[in-house]
Amino acid sequence: MTEPNSAGVVRRLTGRRIIVTGAASGIGRATAELFAAEGAVVACLDRDAAAAEVANAIGGYPVAADITDEGDVARATNLIQDRLKGIDGLVNAAGIMATGSVEDMPVALWRKIIDVNLIGTYLVTKSCVPLLRRNESSTIVNIASAQGLLPNVADHTAYAASKGGVVNLSRALAAELSPQIRVNAVCPGMVDTPMAVGNGGKAANYAMKRVARPDEIASAILFLTSEDSSYVTGAALAVDGGRSFH
């Protein structure tokens, strides 16, 4: 729903109740802040206590949860449903990254990356779908990665596998949940977040010659959550400064 505020500026998410995972920092935080400015009530879900500070600053609702724990996710979504009296949208922004060759990365670390990035996205989505189905039009946006579209960098096998899984999970969900729930993925390149520390130099290989700001990724997520993208589902939107073709 769009509605102008007192200054006459149209707010694209007025009345929407949206869960953002990974809201304590990075892309998740930028998304929570932008969505609140656009009129949404945002549930900030994160295992990091800093999510409470973000929620308080934007008038949202903080929920501590481990997205890799099915029971904890169910508890958290039930709390949000009770507090907000419904859920209209979900942004799965929680994720981790670690580098290492296929020979050297410990299996436990490989599993952790898959567990957080792919299984965590699945578990939150699984818990939210019954609540999202109660509305005529709901949205899910999953944060994948340019690595999930074109894994051409060494020592990122686990991360690329997890994010490639998120891309195809999003497409499969779009087919399964349409037309009532639209599901899309955003695939960022390098973003100026704590997760990208030490990797900024690789942006020289991008057409834009720089890393992205978190708010630039949040704007793409806003597009896929708002009515501006009402005929878009199953998309994997590269927001990567030209990495995918350069």
Two tokens, residue 15: 């009345």
- Give the span between the Cα atoms of 215 and 208, in whole angstroms: 16
CA atoms of 97 and 116, how far apart (whole Å): 10
Catalytic residues: 159
> What is the rounded distance in angstroms from the CA atom of residue 23 to the CA atom of residue 218?
12
Contact criterion met (CB below 8 Å) for 120 and 137: no
Given the DSSP bridges, would you call strands 181-188 and 61-64 parallel, antiparallel or unpaired? unpaired
Residue 187 bridge partners (DSSP): 238
First to last CA, the chain: 37
